[in-house]
Amino acid sequence: MALIAKDDVGNVHLLNDSWKLWYWRFSGTVVPDVNWTDNLHGLCEFDSVEKFWSIFNHIKMPSMLTTGCDYSVFKSDIKPMWEDPSNKNGGRWLIKDSGLLDQYWMDILLSMIGGMYDPYNDNICGIVYNRRQYSKISVWISSSDTNIVNDIGSKLKHFLDTKEKLKFEKHSEFLKKKINSHKKKILAK
Ligand code: MGP
């Protein structure tokens, strides 16, 4: 997939946005609802094709992370968490593991930083890879508007060249479900 750079400054090919790589480190003492943010670490930022490759040629592919850890790449002014103003009214397109997640991770990253979601590039917030027993990728967007959600979803399917059904989940609905299941667990005690 080709990268479209906004500008060429000398030998540097600038991207439309600056992006930040984050790492969520699993440690045995994590209590998800209590200290999730303590384990979230911003690693480095990039705003050019050259910086992108200097980072991604040297880090582990996400499937090589320890189970329980995450990678995220978000626009530099957006934190990879539901609470961020750019995320809180949006949601995520979820892609389940079918043995191709490392390839999907790179393909989606390139499509995001290359600005291939026209006219909705501004609605792209970032991408998360959760390394789990059943790993998953999610593409976070800032809107739940049906046209925007569906347009980004069909572009994603096209870039990944997949016939698999992808699922969209609003962050607000996901959080509601989480709270309800928590309440049910408490009532069952
Ligand atoms: P997870 O790491 O995103 O997914 O969320 P996992 O482990 O696959 O589990 P599932 O819930 O998707 O089935 C795990 C837990 O981490 C959540 O239940 C929250 O307690 C916490 N957490 C995750 N995220 C993305 C956030 C966030 O954005 N903000 C806060 N405060 N907690 C979060």
Cα 89 to middle of ligand 1, angstroms: 17
- For residue 95, is pLDDT > 60? yes
Q: What is the pLDDT of residue 5?
A: 53
- Per residue in 40-90, pLDDT tens? 999 999 999 999 999 999 999 999 999 999 999 999 999 999 999 999 999
Q: What is the pLDDT of residue 1?
A: 53
Cα 66 to middle of ligand 1, angstroms: 17
Q: Compute the distance between CA of residue 109 and CA of residue 47 in angstroms, rounded to an integer.
A: 13
Percent of the chain beyond pLDDT 90? 75
Label residue 122 by pLDDT band (50, 70, 90).
very high
Whether the Cβ atoms of residue 130 and residue 72 lie closer than 8 Å to each other: no
Over range 90-109, report the average pLDDT: 96
Q: Compute the distance between CA of residue 189 and CA of residue 184 in angstroms, rounded to an integer.
A: 9
Which alpha helices (H) appear in 57-136, and where do they start and end? 101-113
Cα 32 to middle of ligand 1, angstroms: 7
Q: Compute the distance between CA of residue 88 and CA of residue 31 in angstroms, rounded to an integer.
A: 22
Find the angle CA(2)-CA(129)-CA(31) to the nearest 5 degrees: 160
**Residue 152: other Cβ atoms inside 10 A:** 20
Q: Compute the distance between CA of residue 69 and CA of residue 18 in angstroms, rounded to an integer.
A: 24
Whether the Cβ atoms of residue 13 and residue 49 lie closer than 8 Å to each other: yes
Label residue 32 by pLDDT band (50, 70, 90).
low
Pocket test for ligand 1, best of 36, 92, 96 (most atoms within 8 A of CB): 36
Q: Would you say the CB of residue 26 lies under 6 angstroms from ligand 1?
A: no
